[in-house]
Amino acid sequence: MNSQQQSLSLYAASFLRITLGIALLAHGLLKVFVFTMPGTVGFFASQGFPGWMAYPVTAIELLAGAAMIVGFHSRIAAAVSLPVLLGALSVHIGNGWLFTAKNGGWEYPAFLVASAVVVALLGDGALALSNIGRRQASHRLQTA
C-alpha cells in the first residue's frame, strides 16, 4: 500500500469512528433527555432486561460515543460498546430485517455492531486526540 492509500485509509477509519461515536452519543442523549431514565428503565424491563441495566448502557453510549468522536482510546471504546450494541440487536432481531418494520428491524443495529468491530480493529485513524501524544513522543525521539 502506498503512502497516499495509507493516508486515505487512516481518514476513512476516522470517518467511521466519528460517525459511530455520533450515533452512540445520540442514542445515549435520547435516553436521558427524550425517553428519560425512568422511561428507559421501563423499556428495558419490558424487553426482558433488568431495568437497572439502563444506567450502565446509557453511560457506555455517552462515554464511548464521546471518546470515539474525539478519538480517545477508540479501540477500547468500540470494544466496550459491543455488548450494548449486541443487546440492541437482540431486541430487534425478531422484527425482520428492515429497520422500517414495526418496532424496527435488525439491519441498523447489525450495521452498528459491524462498525464497532471495524473501529475496534482499525483504531483511531488520522484525526484523533490519542494521536497527539504519539506525535509528540515521536517528534521528541527524532530530535534527540
Cell numbers found for residue 86: 449486541
At 118, list the grid cell: 471495524
pLDDT > 90? residue 4: no
Whose cell is 427524550? That residue is 34
Give me the pLDDT at residue 2, please.
85
Q: What does each C-alpha distance from 45 to 11, 50, 51, 125 come to in angstroms?
A: 40, 6, 5, 38
pLDDT at 137: 52
- Residue 100 class from Cβ within 10 Å (0-12 exposed, 13-18 middle, 19+ buried)? exposed
Task: Give the residue extent of every domain in the chain.
Answer: 8-143
Better-predicted residue by pLDDT, 25 or 2: 25
Please give the model's pTM, rounded to 2 decimal places.
0.89
DSSP secondary structure string for all residues of 110-136: HHHHHHHHHHHHH-S-SS-HHHHHHHH
Tell me the average pLDDT across 57-66: 99
Residue range 81-124, pLDDT digits in tens: 999 999 999 999 999 998 888 888 999 999 999 999 999 999 99
